[in-house]
Amino acid sequence: MPEPTLFPRASGILLHPTCLPGPDGIGDLGPAAHRFVDWLADHAQSIWQVLPLGPTSYGDSPYQTLSAFGGNPLLVSFERLHADGWLTAADLADRPDLPADHVEFGPVINWKMMVLDRAWAGFCARAAQPQWREFEAWCGRHADWLDTLAMFLALKEENGGQPWPQWEPPLVRRDEAALAQARVRLAKRIDAHRFRQWLFATQWDALREHARRRGVRLVGDIPIFVAHDSSDVWMRPELFQIDAAGKPLAVAGVPPDYFSTDGQLWGNPLYDWKAVAADGYRWWIARVRACLEQVDVVRLDHFRGFEAYWRVPAGAKTAREGSWIPGPGAAMFTALREGLGGTLPLIAEDLGLITPAVDALREQFELPGMKVLQFAWSGPDNAFLPHEHTPHSVVYTGTHDNDPVLGWWRHLAGAEEQALVAEYVGAPVDEPHWTLIRLGLQSCAHTFITTMPDVLGLGREARLNLPGADQGNWSWRFAPAALDGPEGARLARLTWLYRRAPGQKAPARQDPESPAGGSFA
């Protein structure tokens, strides 16, 4: 069992930064993010879990990014850049009228990319030598991935945004003469993209330091697969199952499951695990190390794919046509443990079709698994029910792929499931979101995570992602006033009651007349 300091009894919130309030059409790393850290700390929450932080592309999904190492420049705060002196009031005077309750990615991307170029111009014009040295030193420390990403993004701009297999053949195969010419031709754009990455990194580092001061740990997320149109696949094609022209030989997905009767056809290129192993798993070690430079603990998405992955032939219409292929297994995690120098601060996302071999792999490396309370109500032997939980696990009300609890309750939970919830808690269920929050906080699992929509009592309108849907995902945001309501105090009281904040003074009850709040909620 890992040392208790890695996973003390604690609780927190799952919220991606894009969901935060802010003036530029999308949540960012500015004042609202710092205020959210304060709200967590003030209400006895010691964990903030985010989704992958990489630069998004077509579809706007944080699970399909242009780089496994870079940051998303859409998260850069213009308020911070104005305070730093790289933007002037005039640079922000033409701010468009963007919605506050959701992200309209097209207009947001156009606005933010334009203003980031203004910030680069401002930096070039006004930065002093110490600031230039800081920027250049950071670029040097991260050159192993940064130079490739900046070149990739500049070439992608030059090619009208087309995926890299559609570029000129010398660039597709990374011919050194063609790359040398591009470095000269695109030098200014390459530096502009380096600058965007530096801005993200400095703002994230400031946020992480603020979280550390307030006693809030950050939990990050690493998707098992990377996007086909990414700097990672373009630069290291030998690590993936693709042909000489860059086309996948097979793609990733999962068989029919809870979300889809045809399975999920993700389309990501698959790893050539023999090539990855022959390279000593160095790419994966670097990837996990880079993420752990940003966060304290990492949720490893689709953990079961490391034991065996679902291989779908290229061109297949649905994921039904796939088959299970052995993954790297223990060899990769042994290499990670040796490369990172000790205990692995990882959470295994072990949802879906889990076999004894997957459980054995997780247990071999002492990784906590996930328990999702929305999945718990098939009967008393369901492993997601609180009485079946184990201490070394992380319990969630739901994930970014689920409806908020109220949406689940109103649209997906049948009468039998609802009746079982009421029977389980021995009381009427008037507020199902608080019922599941209380059950999660009660659990013997060392970590409990709920979502911000569940704390706020929101329904399907606040769903972040519907797997398989082509549009409308990743866009929900909340208003600044949402943090001023009574929900935080209610959460703090329950957190104290179930001892997930040692040393916390007892907050006032929300309803002194009834310790249970009237119903089990």
Residues that are catalytic: 301, 349, 401
Residue with tokens 């190390």: 289
Residue with tokens 């088959």: 323
Question: Tokens standing for 55?
Answer: 């630069």
User: How many Å apart are CA 279 and CA 239, to the nearest integer?
Assistant: 9
Residue with tokens 């179930």: 498
Q: How many CB atoms lie within 10 A of CB 279?
A: 14
Host H or E run for residue 294: none
Q: Which residues pair with 254 in a beta bridge?
A: 264
Question: Tokens standing for 334?
Answer: 């042994």
Q: Which residues pair with 118 in a beta bridge?
A: none
Nearest to 53 by CA among 235, 229, 287, 237: 287
User: How many Å apart are CA 50 and CA 449, to the nearest integer?
Assistant: 11
Nearest to 269 by CA among 252, 284, 294, 281: 252
Contact 516, 497 (CB under 8 A): no
DSSP 305-328: HHHEEEEEETT-SSGGG-EEEE--
Q: Which residues pair with 450 in a beta bridge?
A: 13
Nearest to 313 by CA among 276, 270, 273: 270
- Pairing mode, strands 393-396 and 369-372: parallel
Contact 325, 333 (CB under 8 A): no
Measuring CA to CA, how many Å separate 437 from each of 18, 56, 317? Answer: 23, 31, 39
Question: Tokens standing for 512?
Answer: 């002194």
